[in-house]
Amino acid sequence: MLTIANLEVVYNRIARVLNGVSIEVQDGETVALLGPNGAGKSTLLRAMTGLLSIHDGDITKGSILLGDQRLDGMKPDAIVRNGVVQVMEGRRIFIDLSVEDNLLAGAYGQRRDVSKELAEVYEQFPRLAERRKQLAGYLSGGEQQMLAISRALLTQPKLLLLDEPSLGLSPVMTAEVGRLIRQIQKRGISILLVEQNAAMALNLASRGYVLESGRLVLDGNSRELLDDPDFKEFYLGQGGGKASTNFRDVKHYRRKRRWLS
């Protein structure tokens, strides 16, 4: 469904922050995009949602296809109409609108009756139902995350881009977000899950990509990654590793590169 090929992104016409990135997400698949701060994960999402230009960024090489539709060069609203919807990091709900108006904003511009979908959201999250008329800014962090994801679902996405959905949440709320993601998977919606919480992401995704300094350094199915000693050391904090500060420095890096060639 989604094919990103050899993508290069430059900010301010000089700073190249993505360098030949290629990623695929199949129909109904959940794929994790992992990597440390500054790796280029948000930049990749901006490229997919048409929001690079407001950050003075440009795609200088490569392509982004949804099926046979080219997304690079498309306006953000057209990308949403084509079914690619992002839930931003930090939740970005409208704190001065009621919970219900936030949800309705998800279906804005669509001439259809969303009352059944609203009822489903409220059934699933009774806390949102109790607070439907209250300002969304009064919700807890976890509740705001549920609201942001529920709102995105009301746009009827084909591909949902989740940017750090567990960021700042308690373990209990992180588990709740995980349950919601599993329900979305059952609906057949494809998901690109951007996370620093690698264990959580790979438990939900079938495959993962690791991005560092604008390049993919590793990819594989989730089991392979979770069992990979180097991956464990750098992304799961296991293995008692020393010295190296990033994945590219590890001894076996050359061997791993073969996976990507």
Footprint on this chain of ligand ATP (rule: CB under 6 A): 11-12, 15, 17, 35, 37-43, 55-56
Nearest-angstrom CA–CA distance, 161 and 181: 11
Nearest approach, Cβ of residue 172 and ligand ATP (Å): 23
Nearest-angstrom CA–CA distance, 39 and 42: 8
For residue 132, what are the contacts with CB-CB under 8 A and spacing of at least 6? 98, 99, 100, 122
Nearest approach, Cβ of residue 89 and ligand ATP (Å): 7
Nearest approach, Cβ of residue 118 and ligand ATP (Å): 32
Please give the C-alpha separations between residue 153 and each of 23, 58, 76, 77, 117, in angstroms, as whole numbers: 23, 29, 17, 16, 9
Q: Which residue lies nearer to ligand ATP by CB, 43 or 150?
A: 43
Q: Which two tokens stand for residue 197?
A: 């919480």
Closest CA to 140 of 181, 182, 172: 172
Closest CA to 190 of 209, 165, 162: 162
Q: Which residue lies nearer to ligand ATP by CB, 15 or 175?
A: 15
Q: Which residue lies nearer to ligand ATP by CB, 10 or 160?
A: 10
For residue 78, what are the contacts with CB-CB under 8 A and spacing of at least 6? 50
Q: Which residue lies nearer to ligand ATP by CB, 15 or 199?
A: 15
Nearest approach, Cβ of residue 226 and ligand ATP (Å): 21
Nearest approach, Cβ of residue 217 and ligand ATP (Å): 13
Nearest approach, Cβ of residue 15 and ligand ATP (Å): 5
User: In one letter, which amino acid is 248?
Assistant: R
* Coil/strand/helix, residue 71: coil
Q: Which residue lies nearer to ligand ATP by CB, 89 or 233?
A: 89
Q: Which residue lies nearer to ligand ATP by CB, 39 or 146?
A: 39
